């Protein structure tokens, strides 16, 4: 094994023990990976700066400045991020001004809501049309036995498909802690609609009692957007919760390099993933939702929208200040990881003998 392959193996095996071994970094693999790295689109997300937005220290337009300063390709914003300053509370003139600023800075906009209910979907679609946005993240928050929850979501997805066709939109359903990847895949397979896909979150499968790489493999055919973050896995009863940590830190239990590689390589002719979104959630706490050995039709408890309480010993001011540093650090970590993959690809291709004429 040469030094390049050894380093590639070490990088992709990080926190991925027990999973399939890394692939051989052949010239063909290196060429495809390098092409995908050149096409990768990194987005800022509002959640890493949520305390700043909640307190009014920052406004959604400031997130555009953050993305531009870090040379990102876009911003993904929840409709409620920023409280009274949020997109959901802006009038038409304010929305148009926000969209115009994003266009001036060369940034794409994606929207997110924490629901699939008609009234919430109608609101986000109206705002998306004003902003000129085509990509919307959704997830469900229903309570009841799994079979009933799946039926409710399927009904909602039919409505989303109708709106997507009508207004030239795409909806990406996130695996958000209570549903397993196979269950989401099953819903999407039932509809088989070209405008309905999935958003893969780096850590949410933990709460559904799944392993990261196995969940990625199951959902792979449907993944169109990705949330990047770090997670510490916390055993709870017969399942697992997770605690948000800095991505790439010693506390991060996720095989981030391997997941990033697998996601980059999705799609035969063109990249399948259109946005890698930097959604660091340091100090976020999420309980276990699914258990090992659960009943065939388990009860799914209602969940509130995600929020991060102040950690012990933190003031709101300190949290807001630290968020900015942590957000910068995530950009640095991800860029460093991407840079190392690039170097390994370039070294592999440089080491490839030229074909004879």
Kindly write down the DSSP assignment for every residue of 250-290, as one continuous string: TT--S-HHHHHHHHHT-SSSS-S--EEEE---TT-EE----
For the whole prediction, is pTM greater than 0.85? yes
pLDDT at site 355: 43
pLDDT digits (tens, 9 = 90+) for 183-226: 999 999 999 999 999 999 999 999 999 999 999 999 999 999 99
Report the distance separating Cα 109 and Cα 90, nearest Å: 16
pLDDT digits (tens, 9 = 90+) for 91-123: 999 999 999 999 999 999 999 999 999 999 999
pLDDT digits (tens, 9 = 90+) for 272-319: 999 999 999 999 999 999 999 999 999 998 887 878 888 999 999 999
Q: Is the dihedral of CA 93, 82, 114, 267 positive or negative?
A: positive
Please report the beta strands in the chain, taking only residues with DSSP state E, as ranges in sequence order. 42-45, 74-78, 108-112, 135-138, 144-145, 170-174, 196-201, 223-228, 230-236, 239-245, 275-278, 285-286, 299-300
Element (H, E) at 13: helix 3-13
Instruction: List C-alpha distances in Å: 20 to 12, 242, 265.
Output: 10, 24, 16
pLDDT at site 1: 64
> Helices (DSSP H) in 132-194: which residue ranges?
146-167, 181-191
Q: Give 3-291+298-303+316-349's CATH code, choosing from 3.40.470.10, 3.40.50.2000, 3.30.300.30, 3.20.20.150.
A: 3.20.20.150
Given a cut of 70, whether residue 139 has pLDDT beyond it is yes
Report the distance separating Cα 68 and Cα 123, nearest Å: 27
Residues 6+ apart with CB under 8 A from 59: 53, 82, 85
- Tokens 């055919």 -> residue: 221
At residue 352, φ and ψ (nearest 5 deg) are -85, 125
DSSP state of 19: S
């Amino acid at each position: 094994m040469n030094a390049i392959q050894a380093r590639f193996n070490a990088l992709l095996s990080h926190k991925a023990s027990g999973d399939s071994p890394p692939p051989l970094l052949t010239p063909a693999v290196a060429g495809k990976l390098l092409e995908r790295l050149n096409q990768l689109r990194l987005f800022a997300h509002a959640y890493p700066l949520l305390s700043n937005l909640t307190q009014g220290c920052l406004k959604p337009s400031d997130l555009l400045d953050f993305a531009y300063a870090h040379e990102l390709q876009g911003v993904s914003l929840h409709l409620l991020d920023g409280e009274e300053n949020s997109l959901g509370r802006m009038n038409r003139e304010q929305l148009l001004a926000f969209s115009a600023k994003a266009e001036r800075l060369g940034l794409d906009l994606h929207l997110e809501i924490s629901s699939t209910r008609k009234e919430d979907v109608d609101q986000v679609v109206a705002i998306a049309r004003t902003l000129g946005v085509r990509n919307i993240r959704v997830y469900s928050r229903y309570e009841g036995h799994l079979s009933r929850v799946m039926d409710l979501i399927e009904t909602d997805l039919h409505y989303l498909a109708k709106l997507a066709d009508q207004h030239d939109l795409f909806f990406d359903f996130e695996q958000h802690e209570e549903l397993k990847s196979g269950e989401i895949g099953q819903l999407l397979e039932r509809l088989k609609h070209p405008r309905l896909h999935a958003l893969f979150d780096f850590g949410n499968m933990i709460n559904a009692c799944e392993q990261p790489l196995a969940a990625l493999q199951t959902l792979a055919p449907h993944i169109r957007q990705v949330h990047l973050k770090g997670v510490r896995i916390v055993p709870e009863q017969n399942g697992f919760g997770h605690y948000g940590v800095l991505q790439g830190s010693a506390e991060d239990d996720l095989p981030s390099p391997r997941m990033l590689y697998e996601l980059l390589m999705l799609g035969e002719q063109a990249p399948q993933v259109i946005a890698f979104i930097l959604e660091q959630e340091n100090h976020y706490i999420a309980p276990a939702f699914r258990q090992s050995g659960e009943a065939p039709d388990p009860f799914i408890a209602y969940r509130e929208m995600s929020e991060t309480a102040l950690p012990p010993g933190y003031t709101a001011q300190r949290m807001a200040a630290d968020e900015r540093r942590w957000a910068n650090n995530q950009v640095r970590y991800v860029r460093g990881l991407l840079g190392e993959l690039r170097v390994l690809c370039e070294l592999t291709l440089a080491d490839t003998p030229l074909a004879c004429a």
